[in-house]
Structure 1
């Protein structure tokens, strides 16, 4: 079976630009309400968000392994990371792991914010010094309605990795590690 190629290329395309490209007759309706999104400028942010979400999936898997270790009959088919965290909190001594569980909870909340908010790039038109044209220049990036940039996303990735490490510490302790 032939592999399907992404219809809009390899990258993230904003939903408004998908609409524009798929329904060219709607451009006039879209112009004022939904300005064209700068997908290219958002690429690095989408990449970092993808890495943070990938690490969040690893955190979720580590939480699942803690649960399976402490409750071998556990069925983990459809639990979210937050549900798994609550389950872990019931299985371990919360007082012994308060700091680690708090770090994991912060990571889960950050994961949800990353997954459920759109990235927007705000641009302004800058004329060329030569006077013959110009270009849109990105000036602000948003996650949802909040000013957010690549350094914020790097911090989110760091948080996910630290939370995964915290989950591993809990798991090691349950397996008799030091």
Structure 2
């Protein structure tokens, strides 16, 4: 009978170790499943406030909107952020930074309709929500708009930032 060589023993140990890590135990399964934020969770409250601020930026008066938008993007949008707009194209943090002197029509009645936070790890969460506003179209006509969104947030160096979003226009009721 041929004896095992050191590389063979290493391969056997590595295989067993990788299988042990690949098969989720109770702690791994629980972390992967995550949990919904409990009522009154202070971290979830901060994340929901961040979402409220973002949802209402378009309703900030034009003279203050540039500074408010710039401050929000710089603080809460990660440098490696990628989002999907309701129309479909991808956009980045650079695309979100306001251009000085540009004026978009001010929306009105901006509000978060509802949102909830699911933590997957202590530093990773997904926020599911919706928002509405009254928006002017290119012809100047005002119409309601409702967005449904999923935002992924990550805590890096103690700071929560949005790393990805998926927005869609809500179906007409």
Structures share fold, TM-score greater than 0.5 = no
More helix by share: 1
Q: TM-score, normalised by structure 1?
A: 0.25
The structure showing larger relative contact order (alpha-carbon pairs under 8 Å, at least 6 residues apart) is: 1
Larger Rg: 2
